[in-house]
Each structure stands twice: as structure tokens, then as C-alpha cells.
Amino acid sequence: MPQKQRKRVLVPSLSGMHDILPQDQGYYRKFQEIAEKLSSLYNFQRIDTPVLERAELFIKGTGAITDIVQKEMYTFRTKGGDWVALRPEGTPPVVRAYLEHGMISWIQPVKLYYFGPFFRHESPQAGRYREFRQFGLEVIGEKDPSVDVEVIALSYNIVSKVGIKKLIVEINSIGCKKCHSRFKKNLVRYLEKRQIGLCQNCRQRIKSNPLRLLDCKEEKCQLLIQTAPQIIDYLCQECHNHFKNVLEYLEEIRIPYNLNPYLVRGLDYYNRTVFEIIEEGDKKKTTLVGGGRYDGLVKIFSRRDIPGCGSAIGVERVLNKLKSEEVKTEQEKPQIFLAQIGELAKKKSLKILEDLRKANIKAEGALGKSNLKSQLSIADKLGIKIVLILGQKEVIENRILVRDMKRGQQDLVRIENLIPKIKKFIKKLK
């Protein structure tokens, strides 16, 4: 009896995770080139940390009662018994690396950038993924407000240079622990009187984390927040001066900002300056960049009291905007196509293609095809301007036909002269 044929079913990608297809690679490449070049001009150095870390790093660093850790972190136990997490954000790993590699003894501040994937089990929607890329900046070891401004300026300039021209920095200061105690008391008093008007989540947060309530996106909460006490009125003298300097420096370098007294950001470690960068006039207020100061974070993992400040650019969010605004990126086309006819020519073509690539010439062939017409049609579809044609006769005579597809001219060239000839040709075409 014939064996029953098994049904083949595609195993799809996971929800919220996506492939980056060849036609989109240009956007990512352009982003990375610009971001790395600018970061290097500001004297930031690249760091790569592992995708997997001990879960404890984020529980202690990001904060046990943040949404990222409570609801969104991918965690599992390894066969060796370690409790690990797919990194949901980049700051705690960079701080860990700073301490673990003795960067305390480097010239301070240490200025680092990273680029890579991050994972959060959020409900997927436009611009919100479960795997996404961030380009992050971290400056560790300097408390001066000029550092906050450098981080903001570099983030702003990267996104702007990539192609989103009208940006605005939403900025606030959430002060320090000293400022919080008086503010929290008044905020809780205000909120308790209006509990009925708050969403379920926020009602629970009034006591545990009232500051985070200011971040709630629910409309009814937003309405109440608009008349709530503002942290900025409760800043201690030091925090007040720090923030005043940040704003003055931003004005000095002409970075446009909007003072947003209710911006708090969702992570525990932030203090003083917090900011987001959005596109001006964006009704949805899509956050392209988020960041702030984290002066207490190093102290959670060591006895050292070392300040820090950083930001993270949501790469997909920036690129989605570019695509929706139809900012095109060029896909790099091959410069040469080699068509061959016959077994002998096919074999020789392999060597010629290798030599072209060794000479840094981007070359393509279709060695699986034997018909000249179909090969020329591929070259045409790829938009290649120079086609080489090699037949049995040419191989025996050690020559190759070089055809300029634009002008319709062709030349018979000795194979040993091919590369210099092609290089000249390419120069002429530019």
C-alpha cells in the first residue's frame, strides 16, 4: 500500500517577530552607517553585550515592578539551572560590563554605543514588536548636565540625519529621591480623591508606584493627570539647577524642546533628566528615542556611586517612518554580468567571476542557465550596464566580449586585460 502522504504545513514566524528582507536591508545599513559614524565623531565607542543575561540583572537594574520586568521579559531556566532573560533593554548590561571590565579605571566618562536586537513580550501592533532593534548610547562616570545634552544632541542628530527632519525633544526632570518624598505625598493625596476616574491599573499603582501613573496612556487617566501636581515644582535646589542648565545648553546648540511636566518614562532607574524624541506634529506621538539620567544604577551593583546617562533609538520605529515618508534607499546593484555559452565557457566563467570579485568588482552570473537570451534578460532585469559574453570560440582565443548595454557598443578584450579594462569602464560610467 502506498504510504499516506504527510501534509506539509508552513511553520510561521512567531507573532511580533519579523524577517528583515533584502529590500529593507538598505534602510538598516544606512541607519547603522550614519549612527556609527556620528557616534564616533562624538567619541563614543562600540560595545556588544550578550543577548542572554542573568534575569537578576534586569530585575535589580530595570526594576522588579516595571512593566518590562513584570510582564514583558522572556525568561527561562537553562539546562544548567541558570535563570536567564533575553535582554529587554541595553542599559543594565552595559553597566554590568562597565563594572565587570574595570572601566572605572578608564578615562571618565566612558562613552559607549550599542546596536542590536532586544526582546519584550508586549502585545504586537504597528511599531511595537517582540523583537526589535535599538541603537543605544550610554555615558557613565560624569554628572555634569552637558552630558545629558550630548546624549540628546547625538540621538537627535542621528535620527535627523537618517531622514526625519522635524524632530522635537520632549523633556522633563523627575528629580531625585529627596524631591520625590514631598511630591509623592501631594500626588497620592490628589489621586486618592479622584480614584473613581482612574483605570484599574492606576488605582493599584497609587500606593506602589504613583509616579508611573503619570505615564498611563488611558484617556481618562490622562485627563486627570493634566491637573495633577507637577514634579518640576518639587525639585530640590541641585536638581533644579541641573535641569535649568540642561535646558540652557539645549537652547545654546539649538535643539528644539518641549517641556513636558508629565513625562516620567517607565523604568525605575531614571532620575533627573528624562526625555523622548518624537516627530514634530505626529498626532500619535510615536516615541522614536527614549532616555535619561540614571545616577543610582551603578550603585545597585557595586559600592561605587557613579552617575550615568543614556538613550535608546527604536530603529524599526525610525525606519517605519522613513518608509511611510517614502525616503528611498538604493539597493546596490552588481556592476557586471557575465553570460556564458557552452560547458568550456561555463567552467572558465567561474574563474573570471572569482577574479572580478577579488578585484572588488561586484559581479553576477547565471551559471545554471545555458541560453544567452535568458541570461541577457536577467542582466536587463538587474539593471546591469556592462555584460561580458564568453563562448567556446572566445575561450579558445583567450578573449571575452565586453558589451556596453547602454550604448550598444562592444569590444573583444584579452582575458588578462579584462580587469583594468572593466575598471576604466566603471569609472567612465560614474
The residue ranges that bind ligand AMP (CB under 6 A) are 89, 120, 122, 127-129, 132, 134, 287-290, 312, 314, 316-317
CB 22 within 8 A of CB 332: no
CB of 265 to ligand AMP, least distance (A): 6
Least distance in angstroms from the C-beta of 24 to ligand AMP? 15
Give the nearest residue (CB) to ligand AMP.
314
With a CB cutoff of 8 Å and minimum separation 6, the contacts of 357 are 363
Least gap, CB of 380 to ligand AMP (angstroms) = 39
Asked if 38 contacts 160 with a C-beta cutoff of 8 angstroms, the reply is: no
Q: Which three cell numbers stand for residue 425?
A: 569602464
Instruction: Supply the minimum distance, in Å, between the C-beta of residue 277 and ligand AMP.
Output: 8
Q: How far is the CB of 50 from ligand AMP (least distance, A)?
A: 18
Nearer to ligand AMP, 187 or 319 (CB): 319
Answer for the pair 96, 119: CB distance below 8 angstroms, yes or no. Answer: no
What the block records as the C-alpha cell of 392 is 567556446
Beta carbon of residue 287, minimum distance to ligand AMP (angstroms, whole number): 4
Whose Cβ is closer to ligand AMP: residue 180's or residue 317's? 317
What's the CA gap between 311 and 292, in Å, rounded? 6
**Which candidate, 300, 148, 173, places its Cα nearest to that of 236?**
173
Query: Nearer to ligand AMP by C-beta: 87 or 399?
Result: 87
Q: Which is nearer to ligand AMP, 30 or 133 (CB)?
A: 133
C-beta of 278 vs 363, nearer to ligand AMP: 278
Question: Closer CB to ligand AMP, residue 17 or residue 405?
Answer: 17
Contact, 79 vs 222, CB < 8 A? Answer: no
Nearer to ligand AMP, 145 or 290 (CB): 290
Is there a contact between 70 and 58 (Cβ–Cβ < 8 Å)? no
Q: Which is nearer to ligand AMP, 290 or 365 (CB)?
A: 290
Residue 399 contacts residue 412 (beta carbons within 8 Å): yes
Q: What phi-psi label fits residue 141: left (phi over 0), alpha (psi between -120 and 50 degrees) or beta?
A: left
Q: Which is nearer to ligand AMP, 131 or 404 (by Cβ)? A: 131
Q: How far is the CB of 128 from ligand AMP (least distance, A)?
A: 4
Q: How far is the CB of 321 from ligand AMP (least distance, A)?
A: 10
Measured distance CA(322)–CA(286) in Å, rounded: 13
CB of 275 to ligand AMP, least distance (A): 10
Question: With respect to ligand AMP, which residue has the nearer C-beta, 290 or 334?
Answer: 290
Can you tell me the distance from the alpha carbon of 297 to that of 95, in angstroms, rounded to the nearest whole number? Answer: 8
* Distance of closest approach, residue 313 Cβ to ligand AMP, in angstroms: 7
How far is residue 392's CA from residue 341's CA, in Å, rounded to a whole number?
Answer: 7
Grid cell for residue 159 = 535620527
